[in-house]
A and B are shown apart, each in its own frame.
Chain A
Amino acid sequence: MAGRIATALVGGYAAAAALATLAARLLPIDRAEATSWAMILSFPVYGGLALWCFNERRVAKVALVVWGTALLAGGAAYLLGVRP
């Protein structure tokens, strides 16, 4: 249960932040607009992910999806770097 809670709280935030960062970087609209939409929508994503962590029975799947999303999206955003 501790792992599930940590995944929901910390992993959920990391995944939502990484997805928001990637979306802000990739959305083909004005950079200020992309930034703002990503920031606004990151909270429902975080909330949804965190709640899902407590609905999915297999804790391994929870960890894989949440931390995997955080790593993949975060890694992609890191490799892409700052929008030119």
Chain B
Amino acid sequence: MKVTLRQSMAWIHGWLGLLAGWILFAMFLTGTASYFRPEITQWMQPEFRATPITPARAAQTAVSYMQSVAADDVQWFVYLPDARTSITRIYEIRNPASKAPPRPFEIVLNPATGQPLKARETQGGEHFYRFHFQLQLPYPWGRWLAGLCAMFMLGAIVSGVITHKRIFADFFTLRWNKGQRSWLDAHNVSAVLALPYHAMITYTGLITLVAMYMPWPVMANYAQPLDFGAVAFGIPADRAASGKPAPFVDVGPLVADAQRRFGGEATRLVVRNPNDAAATVTVYRHPSASLNARGPSVTYSGSDGRVLEQSTGSGPGIATAGVMLGLHVAQFAGTALRWTYFALGLTGAAMVGTGLLLWTAKRRKPGAAPFFGLKLVERLNIAVVAGLPTGMAAYLLANRLVPAAAAGRADTEVAAMFWTWGALAVLQLARPARRAWAEAFAVGAVAFAAIPVVNAATTARGLPGSLFDGDTLFAGFDLAMLAVAALLAIGAWRAGRTQAPVRRRVREMERV
């Protein structure tokens, strides 16, 4: 018996989707939230209102703070504020000989004052962003697992397109007012329309960590892999510390000079060996200036301020990788495109979620007792598809409900997400599957609807006020939470209805 290409691809599509589906759903959902990473962080520190500041001034305040506490460091990595980010974040490589007390892993400053930020401690949007590709697992396992799942997704997309023979017909098929038929067509049209996004986001996602997943080509061409980094990522040549102290240059004029050269804002400084005669300051361009997320950089001497090197224009291969990274992280996107990305990201989660549901719908026999695998997949589906959103809501709610001064509160917020998610995953086992679906979605809807309420009760930036004050970030955030709540409520309502929609899906699966 010859197995056709479509049959073999349908088979592998099912397995790829089943094995990676739950993780992919979580990656899609947290990744989609990460399009608003800086906005989430701002919302999660409601007591801090940003005052606009130039990158050059923020660089100066950051460096003067580091000079006061960490002048003997080996390196400073300074992430400057921008139109969407209101804080300065600094990471350091400490001098091994330093006897100063330990400092936090991440130093967060108020850019206007150059002093540690006076706001509640939180990971903000960083948590969803990190989870998106590290899955809360220790380095490097989370990243490897995320990469493996992304490869499964790539395989699932290709095999899915081969399996789905009516792909071009479905592109133009939307029969209105035909009851169930129309829902089916609408589902197909939306899935197929978003296909370019799904393929793009999966492929470019692999490219974001390509240096980790596929380092071998670098080794074929470079005796020193860092030499490739110098060309590809604008890492300046290594300059050892001289051991001779020298006063450190004022970085404000350097940032201003770099911005003139870029024709765009600066986003980040890397200071190597500050207060040494061989100190360097590298300034990087903000990724919003171009589709290519890897902008040019300029490296200055940290002792006299002259230009040491400037990243030269890169060829098409390097630029392609940079543009792929840019397409994935979408920092070039303005507000309208960012919301489009957000909506498309949700269709990605919906595509994975409906795929997981179809797996169970296809195998459920009316009247027959479900076999173990079916029950397992169904319960995992409920735990992830209906449980994770509620966990994410719990993270945001914990931000408002855990006292602002509590010790270790950033970790408590993260724990709230996983405990809530885990508790839902266990509690739903006590209910019949269809009720569990409806009730888990309903809990999620209530949790998201509670976010604006709790925000209004615990901060001075509640919804009616934020709308009146033109506080677009807070108003937009609260309205988005209400929209998510409505979406989950619709999910709860549909899941609680009669069995009819499931039978319809079975027929569809037999047709393709």
Contacts and interface: CB of A to CB of B under 8 A. Distances in A.
Same complex origin of A and B = yes
Interface of A: 16-18, 20-25, 29-40, 42-44, 46-48, 50-51, 54-55, 57, 77, 80, 82-83
A34 to B, nearest CB: 7
A51 B228 CA distance: 31
Contacts of B12: 51, 54
Interface residues on B, range: 35 or more
Nearest to A22: B220
5 contacts: A23-B217, A33-B317, A35-B217, A40-B324, A54-B12
Residue among B2, B12, B211 with the highest chain A CB neighbour number at 10 A:
B12
Interface of B: 2-3, 5, 8-9, 11-12, 151, 154-155, 158-159, 203, 206-207, 210-211, 214, 216-223, 228, 231-232, 314-318, 320-321, 324
B225 to A, nearest CB: 10
B220 A21 contact: yes
A17 B3 CA distance: 29
A17 B320 contact: no
Nearest to A24: B217
Contacts, number: 115
A46 to B, nearest CB: 7
Q: Is the interface of B mostly helix, strand, loop or mixed?
A: helix
A32 B217 CA distance: 10
A36 B221 contact: no
Contacts of B154: 43-44, 47
B316 A46 contact: no
B214 A17 contact: yes
Contacts of B223: 82
Residue among A33, A36, A82 with the highest chain B CB neighbour number at 10 A:
A36
Contact of A35 (B3, B203, B221): B221
B95 to A, nearest CB: 33
A17 B216 contact: yes
A54 B11 contact: yes
Contacts of B315: 29-30, 32-33, 36
Contacts of A55: 3, 5, 8-9
Contacts of B158: 47-48, 51
Contacts of B218: 24, 35, 39
A36 B8 CA distance: 33
B216 A20 contact: yes
A51 B223 CA distance: 34
Shortest beta-carbon contacts, A-B, top 5: A24-B217, A36-B317, A33-B317, A38-B217, A25-B220
Contact of B151 (A24, A25, A47, A57): A47
A8 to B, nearest CB: 9
A82 B317 contact: no
Contact of B221 (A18, A42, A51, A82): A82
Given A21-B219, A39-B214, A51-B158, 17 more contacts: A21-B216, A23-B217, A24-B216, A24-B220, A24-B221, A31-B221, A31-B222, A32-B318, A34-B317, A35-B220, A36-B232, A40-B207, A42-B217, A43-B206, A51-B155, A51-B159, A55-B9
A7 to B, nearest CB: 13
B278 to A, nearest CB: 26
Given A32-B314, A36-B320, A43 B220 contact: no
A83 B219 CA distance: 9
Contacts of A20: 214, 216-217
B222 A82 contact: yes
Contacts of A30: 315
Contacts of A22: 220
A29 B317 CA distance: 10
